Amino acid sequence: MNDMSADTMLSYLYGLPEQFVSSLEMKFDFVDRYRKNYSNIVVSGLGGSAIGGDILRTMALEQCTVPVIVNRDYTIPHFVNSSTLFIAISYSGNTEETISAYNQARSQGAEIICLTSGGKLQEMAAQDGFAVINVPGDLVPRAATGFLLAPLVMFLEDIGIFSAGRKALQETVTVLQQQRQMLQPESSRPENQAKDIASKLKGAIPIIWGVSGFSEAAALRWKAQINENSKCPAYYNVFPELNHNEIVGFELPEEILKNLVIILLRDDQDHPQVKKRIDITCSIIKEKVKDIIEIHSQGESLLARFYSLTYPGDYASTYLAMEYGINPTPVKVIDYLKKQLAL
């Protein structure tokens, strides 16, 4: 493998467990203001800053009595009002869609809290009298998921919306530290699952399949990491929905099918019928695609199991960039797009 300046991203990935450890030391002196009965929670963010919202939404399916939605847009739902808890996440603090959504949420009377490392979002929140959770700003957003999630889990636990949030974060640290030993560069194939996956993905088109609810956001995370780190196309879908459409598309054209690698994200707590669907689907397509790779979750809490599915993808996408001899860290196309939008 050619490491081609991959050290920066690899150091970011290595430090993920410590993001949780650092976050667990945070204290919030503003929680009393936010202890209210909300009718809904809206988390607004884009790209790497939105992954925290995706995980919060997934956690909410297990323990939240009000709906939680993730908003990736300039605009917000009409139902946002004074009984909405609106969480604005922008790692840089300058994401234009999130700033636009924040302004609308303020106009519609929502209770707002922001998570950012600075920028315009922090300035506006301070001016408007809303709380801000500040996180370190020396990473790229997609490598800062610990900072973009853990403080919000703790905050939502403090205001009575989540339970056992800190316990889940502590277990996640343990699981990630254990995984890290087998994923870091010093570990070789075949023991290093991420390197093994990267070698199989080189020259192929990855398709990541998760399960609706628990691992849908994990599949999206895999896709986005391959897009941004490996600079490759990748696609995702979820069971059981894909059994009602996508599965029919594995007949033609054969030359493309032979170049597909399916990555299956599996969890012991998946619905029994979903487990059966996955097995049957694999039997249908196994002779038609290049490979099928299974990733199995580890841990007890939803949060630990979720991150145990995504952490190998973080490393695999970086190793895939190294296989192609490119630097995984820059996202020049996104930078160019932002400059063009500013004209």
Using one digit for the tens of pLDDT, what is the confidence trace for 264-288? 999 999 999 999 999 999 999 999 9
Strands in 68-71's sheet, in edge-to-edge order, are 68-71, 40-44, 84-90, 111-116, 131-134
Q: Which CATH class is domain 35-163?
A: alpha beta
Which position among 27, 78, 244, 339 bears the catalytic label?
A: 244
- Cβ within 8 Å of residue 115, ≥6 positions away: 52, 87, 88, 89, 90, 132, 133, 135, 148, 151, 152
* pLDDT over 70, % of the chain: 99
Question: CA neighbours within 13 Å on the CB side: how many for 131?
Answer: 17
Residue 228 bears catalytic tag: yes
Residue 36 bears catalytic tag: no
Q: One fold for both 35-163 and 187-323?
A: yes
How many C-beta neighbours within 10 Å does residue 43 have?
A: 25
Looking at residue 2, its pLDDT comes to: 43
CA 210/CA 242 separation, integer angstroms = 10
10-residue mean pLDDT profile of the chain (343 residues): values are: 73 98 98 97 96 94 93 98 98 98 98 98 98 97 97 98 97 98 95 97 98 97 98 98 98 97 98 98 98 98 98 98 96 96 93
Strand-pairing partners, residue 113, are 87, 131
Looking at residue 5, its pLDDT comes to: 76
Looking at residue 3, its pLDDT comes to: 45
Fold of 187-323: Rossmann fold (3.40.50)
Looking at residue 1, its pLDDT comes to: 43
Q: Where are the domains of the chain?
A: 35-163, 187-323
Which position among 258, 276, 288, 338 bears the catalytic label?
A: 338
Using one digit for the tens of pLDDT, what is the confidence trace for 35-93? 999 999 999 999 999 999 999 999 999 899 999 999 999 999 999 999 999 999 999 99
CA 256/CA 295 separation, integer angstroms = 23
Tokens of 40: 């809904």
Residue 338 bears catalytic tag: yes
